[in-house]
Structure 1
Amino acid sequence: MGCKQSAPETNTRSLTAEAAMADKLPEPAPPDPTDPRLPLDPRQVFKLKKSWKGIKRCMESTGVEMFIRMFRSNTDIKRLFAKFAHLKTEEEMRVDEVLEKHATTVMATVDEAMNNIDNVDFVLTLLKHRGNYHKKIPGFTSDLFWAIEVPFLEAVKITLGDRYSDNMDRIYRITIKFVLKTLVEGYDTSNAVS
């Protein structure tokens, strides 16, 4: 009987001691600010990288969906892609290995940027180099990069499903604008970073 009565008292004392110690603990340091060239705060970077893992598992299908949506809304762009310009229907595009390979290559660049988004120097170099590479494509102009913005967002939304919240929409919109702006800079710069 005595043990039952003393147990609550001991627990109360230890809880009081723990509470006192907790009051003395310093607040955790805030996360380091992101590079000012990156338009995301540390929390957004964390959420983007976590969310991107869902896209990474479905990069091929997300990339193909992105290109199908771009061709649907910008039929003239398709002529720049000689290897799959002959594809007429969305069904043909979904099963075409050449389109899938190209979509996967594009998504691999985006993947590399997303996985390293907190290393701004690396991402800027990567994207400017890829932007500059597009100068070799006959008929391509830097403003065509922007044609992928909405299709990218739509494809990501489809892939993530209910994980694509309003907050993630804002983060992906900010991020794709940063990516596309940097690609354009690489294209428009005569001596882009190699």
Structure 2
Amino acid sequence: MGCQLGKLASSERRSGEAVLNEGPPPKTDPRLPLTAKQKYSMVASWKGISRAMEKTGICMFIKLFEENEELLHLFEKFRELRTKEAIVSSAELAEHATQVMHTLDEGIKGLADMDSFFAYVRHVGGTHRQVPGFKAENFLKIEQPFLEAAKTTLGDRYTPNIENIYKLTIRFILENLVKGYEDGGNENEIQKQM
């Protein structure tokens, strides 16, 4: 009798699951280039990165400077660092890397509310107008270093599917940083004209 009840309960659970899975997938904001499932995977996977923010950020900046050494001059606090060892052990770089990772963290957490996401990320993009010599396209140079750092941090959890989701997400964030930077310039021009 106990065996029959177990089978009955098990079949009811399975049939209940089938009903739950039949409907259309939940909708995401149409401005977000991710499906609901991709967004869920991004947020779940990001937990692995958020536990190693400083390490991931330093790895990202090392890769950025290896590929774009000319960007070092933009960073007053660590432009004198010439060796990989000096960069790795720089407290200033660790601080900036952590700050950038927190910005990405806020952006990823903000994917649940696109209005807040756009306001936050574009504001951060606009603040970079204050950095002498900074150009909007510098934001885009962080994409590959970010993906490599995420792969290093996540290890085996960085599957081809997760890589695709991270590419979509980082590109979306970077494009909005650029938009914020560009819009910040337009606002400055408007204020000058008044």
Per the normalisation by structure 2, the TM-score is 0.87
After superposition, the C-alpha distances for 1:87-107 in whole angstroms (9 at most, x for unaligned) are 011111111100100111111
| CA distance, structure 2, for counterparts of residue 101 and residue 17 of structure 1 | 54
Task: Flag the 1:137–1:47 CA change in 2: closer, same or farther, 3 A.
Answer: same
Task: Flag the 1:60–1:30 CA change in 2: closer, same or farther, 3 A.
Answer: same
Secondary structure (helix, strand or coil) at the match of 1:76 reads: helix
Task: Flag the 1:56–1:18 CA change in 2: closer, same or farther, 3 A.
Answer: closer
2:35 — aligned with what? 41
After superposition, the C-alpha distances for 1:49-88 in whole angstroms (9 at most, x for unaligned) are 1110110111001101111110110011111111100001
Matches within 5 A, 1:44-193: 44-189=38-183, 190-191=186-187
| CA distance, structure 2, for counterparts of residue 165 and residue 25 of structure 1 | 27
Greater share of helix residues, 1 or 2? 2
| CA distance, structure 1, for counterparts of residue 16 and residue 92 of structure 2 | 62
| CA distance, structure 2, for counterparts of residue 23 and residue 126 of structure 1 | 44
1:3 — aligned with what? none
After superposition, the C-alpha distances for 1:99-126 in whole angstroms (9 at most, x for unaligned) are 1001111111101111222211111111
Task: Flag the 1:38–1:11 CA change in 2: closer, same or farther, 3 A.
Answer: same
| Superposition RMSD in Å | 2.2
Structure index of larger Rg: 1
Shift of 1:159: 0.5
Q: Match of 1:101, as an amino acid?
A: E
After superposition, the C-alpha distances for 1:124-147 in whole angstroms (9 at most, x for unaligned) are 111100000001111111011111
| CA distance, structure 2, for counterparts of residue 14 and residue 100 of structure 1 | 55
Task: Flag the 1:39–1:91 CA change in 2: closer, same or farther, 3 A.
Answer: same
Q: Match of 2:165, as an amino acid?
A: I
Per the normalisation by structure 1, the TM-score is 0.87
| CA distance, structure 1, for counterparts of residue 44 and residue 160 of structure 2 | 16
Secondary structure (helix, strand or coil) at the match of 1:191 reads: helix
Q: Match of 1:121, as an amino acid?
A: D
Shift of 1:191: 3.3
Shift of 1:154: 0.4
| CA distance, structure 1, for counterparts of residue 24 and residue 181 of structure 2 | 37
